[in-house]
Amino acid sequence: MSDIVIRSENLSKRYHIGERERYVALRDVLTRALKSPARIFRPQVRNGNGRNGRNEHVWALKNVSFEIGQGEVVGIIGRNGAGKTTLLKLLARITRPTGGFAEVRGRMGSLLEVGTGFHPELTGRDNVFLSGAILGMSKSEIRSKFDEIVAFAEVEKFIDMPLKHYSSGMQLRLAFAVAAHLEPEILLVDEVLAVGDAKFQEKCLGKMAYVAKEGRTVLFVSHNMQAVRQLCGRTILLADGGKALEGKSSQVIESYLRKVRASRTVAEVNRIISQLPPDPAFHLDYVDIVQDEQSGLEVVSGKPLEIVVRYDIFQEVSGLHVYFLLYDLEGTLLFESLHNGDVDGIPTVSPGRYLSRATIPADFLANRSYELHINVGIHRVRTCIPQPSPVRFPLRVTGVGQVNRAYPGYSTPGKLAPLIPWTTRWVATEEAAESERTSRLVSRADL
């Protein structure tokens, strides 16, 4: 079909443990690119087994087939390690498939990692031209869009400062701005928006929606289910390297969230914590969800809930904050809370082992499901665990606690259910009530 711009048939990628991929020279890439406007990526055949002659390998992607039409916005979701990023890297020609093939028709822009092609010693201005050239923009094209790119990234004051002095959020904004203004026919976006603030995320989603309305195609990988639901008409769910489900976004997301809630436990999350990459200043040791001195992810609304975080600090750190974020199942952030959010000034933390407890009060959460994320950062320096945070707890709240308890079976419709204090007093007669209303009107008139 002429309107199909991406077609994948049994696309697979196998990595040999301990073996590095063969280097492909730039001349080989350019030669292949010039042969046909339709780029077909076929497997590279290798002989031999893994290290020491053993056949050790892992399938990052296996037998994935789909078609995407021009102007479609398609979401790619799944757990960490499901194969989402591998799929985009295959489509972007960063790596070659082991089996099957993918056919891509059209100019492609990709934002798979924050600051791809950026150099820390160069200024923001220089990096715009460098990254734009890597992404396929001509020098005149970059010049014509330069002011628009910088304005979108909101880094006008810092554009002539070396990139190494930028925060990760500033680098993200600049990287996305360059990729988004490439005006590609196909835009691949991996989970990069999680690092930006809420305002910039909205701006990026708006830009991708604008790109889609112009008839261009977007593949959007994200853990933000609300963004996927809002932006994507169709979604593909990957699991263990294979395509588990494909269809209308709302249906695929609901199926995925049901499985996530059923599979994740406190012990499973702490197993993930034990595998986090090391940080020179911080080590996350353990996280627990506790109610009535019992650990678990099924809690009731009418009792306080504790989030317990145990961690080690290896060196004196200024501005370190441990915090949690509470989301609904559509990915809407309800609120976040820092472990030292009530202190004045930026605190300094000394080396040692710490135990932090956050208490969500009784009668605050409604009777529904949530997702609780644990995160750690050093103010304006870096995050101490990978982003988006893999430390996530599916939290199920049951019961109504003190809120509306006089009405059995009534479920509070909102996302939260705080017990708001009211005062009510009895007025003896209608005449007294009318007299009080008249008195109030007179008082206001006197004001």
Delimit the domains of the chain by residue range. Answer: 4-107+184-262, 266-398
Beta bridge partners of residue 238, listed in sequence order: 243
Specify the pLDDT at position 175: 82
- Domain 4-107+184-262, classified CATH 3.40.50.880, yes or no: no
Tokens of 182: 């490439």
Q: How far apart are CA 384 and CA 65, in angstroms?
A: 37
Specify the pLDDT at position 1: 43
- Nearest 5°: CA angle at 1, between 96 and 251? 75
Q: How far apart are CA 34 and CA 98, in angstroms?
A: 23
H or E stretch including 172? Answer: helix 168-180
Q: How far apart are CA 418 and CA 128, in angstroms?
A: 48
Residue 6 gets which letter from DSSP?
E
**Which SS3 state, helix, strand or coil, does residue 7 take?**
strand
Rounded (10°) CA dihedral 140, 142, 147, 150: -160
Specify the pLDDT at position 113: 62
Specify the pLDDT at position 306: 94
β pairing state of 234-239 and 242-248: antiparallel
Q: What is the pTM of this model?
A: 0.61
Specify the pLDDT at position 312: 93
Contact 184, 178 (CB under 8 A): no
Residue 159 gets which letter from DSSP?
T
Specify the pLDDT at position 45: 47
pLDDT in tens, 10-20: 999 998 765 55
Contact 360, 416 (CB under 8 A): no
Residue range 266-398 forms a domain whose CATH class is mainly beta
Please choose, from the candidates 200, 187, 108, 116, the residue with its C-alpha nearest in 3D space to the C-alpha of residue 155: 200
Helix, strand, coil shares of the chain as percentages rounded to 5? Answer: 30, 30, 40
Those residues of the chain that have pLDDT short of 50 are: 1, 45-53
- Nearest 5°: CA angle at 95, between 94 and 101? 115
Specify the pLDDT at position 357: 93
Tokens of 229: 């639901």
- Nearest 5°: CA angle at 128, between 231 and 224? 25
Q: How far apart are CA 271 and CA 203, in angstroms?
A: 35
Q: How far apart are CA 298 and CA 305, in angstroms?
A: 11
What do you get for the CA distance between the two ends of the chain, in Å?
Answer: 74
Specify the pLDDT at position 268: 87
Tokens of 407: 């009405």
